[in-house]
Amino acid sequence: MTSNSLFLHSLKFVFTSASKRRQHRGARRKGVTTSLARQIEVAEERCLLSQIAITLPYSGGGVVANPPAPEQLNPLTAIPKLNSNPGAPVTIYLDFDGHTETQDWPSVRGDGQTSPVVTPVFDVDNDFTTFSDDELQKIEEMWYRVSEDYSPFNINVTTIDPKTYNDFEAVLVSIGGDGSWLGSAGGVAFLNSFNGGPVNTSYVFTDNTGKGTTIHMKGSALAASHEVGHMLGLNHNAVYDANGNQTAGYDSGRPDLGPIMGAPYVSERETWSNAPGIVNATTLQDDFGIITGLRNQVVQFRQDDQGNTIQTATKIIVTSPIVSAKGILERNADVDMFQVETNSGIISFDVKGLDLQAIYPTIASVNRGTNADLVLSLYNSSGVLITQSNIATTLDAAVSATVSAGIYYVAVTSTGQAGAIGQYWLSGIVVPLPSAPTMIGPSGTLIQPFPLFEWTTGANADHYELQVDNLTLNRVGYYTRNVTATSEQATEPFPEGNYKAHVRTVTADGKFSAWSNYTSFTIDVPSPAKPRMIRPAGDITESFPTFEWTSDVNASTYSLLVESVATGKRIIYRTSYDRTTYVHFDPLPDGVYRASAKAMNSVGESSVWSDAVEFTIDAPIPLAPKITAPIKITTSVNPRIVWTAVKDAAKYDLWVNNLTTGAAQYIRRQDISRLTPYFDCTDLPQGTYTAWVRAANGNNEFSPWSAAYSFTVDVLVPGTPVVTGPVGSVSAKIITTTNPTFTWTAAARAVKYDLWVYNVTLQVAPIIRQENLTDTKYVALTNLPQGDYRVFVRAYNSANEVGEWSTVFTFKLDEP
């Protein structure tokens, strides 16, 4: 009794390390008999799936046309670590990295040998030392398929070696090679070996299950599920004629469907069945009943993952228009019911089984792999059916309806065909109702007056309405905001007191959710501590002293008071200052002063004034500065006069004479800031200049004048412009307007231009002459006669020096 089988799909992927190529399976597990009285299932040649032994009757099947492109090679330890149902009491281990079995098989071998049975590494490219990317993908695909077959049961299909293979716990499916030690077969297993047989190992010979065709892994997975089925007590599904005579020992299925315990390699779908077995035409083999029967003890259906009625329906939480869920139909009569709440409008749902075409879109003609044939039903809140989808031409289902706001139920079932169950994925589009957020904070006592309000996301939110009530002032809606985010930092300080806040969702069409919960908080900002003056103190020489005091964590601003000790007059009073150092904008004259500071918190509560600190200013007369720029001969009419900054300077006094014109104090600036030891001249005429500068302290006591510094402004002649117009609309050189616009490029150092236009035809020179143009264009003010013209332009610099005339520009004026 041997055969081939298929097994697909999973709920969880768990990645751990791959097992090494094993040398043995060791002595049998506890509770094992060494008797070979068990029947062994050996696949007949007619069930062998290979390129020469099978004809593929559907479009797209057959041998892969082109070899794959060179791809990355991976170590044998790179097998993906996959689990379909981790934690299940029963394990089916898919072994791809080679296996050696040292016992139990010699008496049934077909090669006459008694040595250990060795299965090579799973391979499609004749390299047994590594896995290609294609081989790893095939391993994953086979796991998907076997997982789907066993998804109704509380069984874990895995690629991770469980190490022990006790009865009622685990079986090993050794995958690879051609099974030459047995003969031509797709796979082999001992009947009922899971519950007490010679060995808990079965075989799938992947060289014989369609290698090189597009259904290679479909055939390999079918063989794996089939052989494990034998280990769980299943025999074959046979075929009988109308008279009850057996016509085939394996049911090869229809194009659309076949039994796993037959040989439906080219059927679209394979399922567990309740169909004639090997006894006779009227004795049905109930696959589900046998697998979960008493003989297998621990093998049971999975626990139902979703409720079966509207009272026990699984609620889908709607936070956006797109909703989804997934599950497993574990039994033929299973109903998985989901509840969804929606606003009025069009809602739609669709459900799909396992779809390897979506998982592997680059594999041509890959079979989907699902066992399920699904039905989708939509009910109202009273359980009355609104619409149902049960399409004969597809295994999936979809429904849609226009509904009013309310609660609805979506039921996922199978068509009722035996074994048409398995995994599914439900998706839908609804019209979300706004849901109330949950207010997170603030809470407790806050020591700063700008609270941060936070809440969770509300479904279908366009924005949120935040409301804060001042309990101390008994003011509802003391602070309200419309906020698009899920947090709001107060933009104005809250006075001390007690508050509570809540929020609600607002949809784009103006619908409101219920208000959220309240959060309560108190604003209690501590008063700041008294500052301590750090500087200035004692005798100093600076007319611009730096005032500094200690900071306080509860302070938001500070005030500084400086008074004259001699007169008691307030000299400096700086308030609402947010730093702890300050330099006044005016110099302090020599004298004795008293300075103190106080701190203010964010709600206006102040500390006491600090202890006053006295200091005395006795500023020395500064040294003379030294002029260092501009260069002696400069071409700039806006030169910068620069000098050295001197200590104790409160300001500078600049004096500049124009030696060319004899003008004294051509420039005189007596209040240049101590912070800017330079002066930018503006539009100096050409000529020679002499400059002096001196510094003054805070008492207006001056240093000596600097040494005289002479420089000459010698402006370069302007550049030559280029005439660019007028330009005709049809032909560049033919102008049709009698008031053309003359244009030219800007010339370097030009401050004005001289335009000359000559009428060649009439011999009028100039017909236009404009000598003080400050723009780079000119529109003729009078109508020009027809004829040929020449145009010239030249530039003047700031010294009224003239540049070269431009190259001649010609045009013809031809008025239509």
Domain 533-617 classification at class level: mainly beta
- Residue 106's pLDDT is what? 61
- Residue 16's pLDDT is what? 24
Q: How far apart are CA 325 and CA 481, in angstroms?
A: 36
Q: Model confidence over 615-646: pLDDT tens digits?
A: 999 999 999 999 999 999 999 989 999 999 99
Q: How far apart are CA 40 and CA 79, in angstroms?
A: 30
Domain 314-429 has CATH 2.60.120.380: yes
pLDDT of 33 higher than 70 = no
How far is the CA of 776 from the CAs of 66, 720, 724, 772, 779, in angstroms?
72, 12, 10, 11, 11
Query: Strands 406-414 and 475-483: what pairing?
Result: unpaired
Count H helices, E strands: the chain? 4, 57
* CATH code of the domain made up of 40-296: 3.40.390
Task: Provide the CA 289 distance to its chain's centre, in angstroms.
Answer: 49
- Residue 19's pLDDT is what? 33
Q: How far apart are CA 340 and CA 142, in angstroms?
A: 35
* CATH code of the domain made up of 439-523: 2.60.40.10
AA letter at 119: T
Q: How far apart are CA 44 and CA 208, in angstroms?
A: 12
Domain with CATH 2.60.40.10 in the chain: 439-523, 533-617, 627-713, 723-813
Q: How far apart are CA 697 and CA 699, in angstroms?
A: 5
Q: Model confidence over 645-681: pLDDT tens digits?
A: 999 999 999 999 999 999 999 999 999 999 999 999 9
DSSP sequence for 596-659:
EEEEE-TTS-B-PPPPPEEEEE-PPPPPP--EEES-SEE--SSPEEEE---TT-SEEEEEEEET
Q: Model confidence over 726-778: pLDDT tens digits?
A: 999 889 999 999 999 999 999 999 999 999 999 999 998 899 999 999 999 99
Residues composing the chain: 816
CATH superfamily of 627-713: Immunoglobulins (2.60.40.10)
pLDDT of 112 higher than 90 = no
> How confident is residue 183, by pLDDT bands cut at 50, 70 and 90?
confident
Domain with CATH 3.40.390 in the chain: 40-296
Bridge partners (DSSP) listed for residue 758: 790
> How confident is residue 516, by pLDDT bands cut at 50, 70 and 90?
very high
Do 465 and 506 contact (CB within 8 A), yes or no?
yes
Do 150 and 92 contact (CB within 8 A), yes or no?
yes
Kindly report the three-state secondary structure assignment for every residue of 346-410.
EEEEEEEECEHHHHCCCCCCCCCECCCCEEEEEECCCCCEEEEECCCCCCCEEEEEEECCEEEEE
- Residue 72's pLDDT is what? 66
Q: Which of 288-292, 525-529, 740-744 has the lowest mean pLDDT?
A: 525-529
pLDDT of 45 higher than 50 = no
Q: Which of 66-70, 104-108, 458-462 has the lowest mean pLDDT?
A: 66-70
**What's the whole-number mean pLDDT along residues 465-483?**
97
Query: Strands 591-600 and 613-617: what pairing?
Result: antiparallel
* CATH code of the domain made up of 723-813: 2.60.40.10
- Residue 560's pLDDT is what? 98
- Residue 71's pLDDT is what? 56
Nearest CA-CA partner of 58 in 265, 357, 363, 356:
265
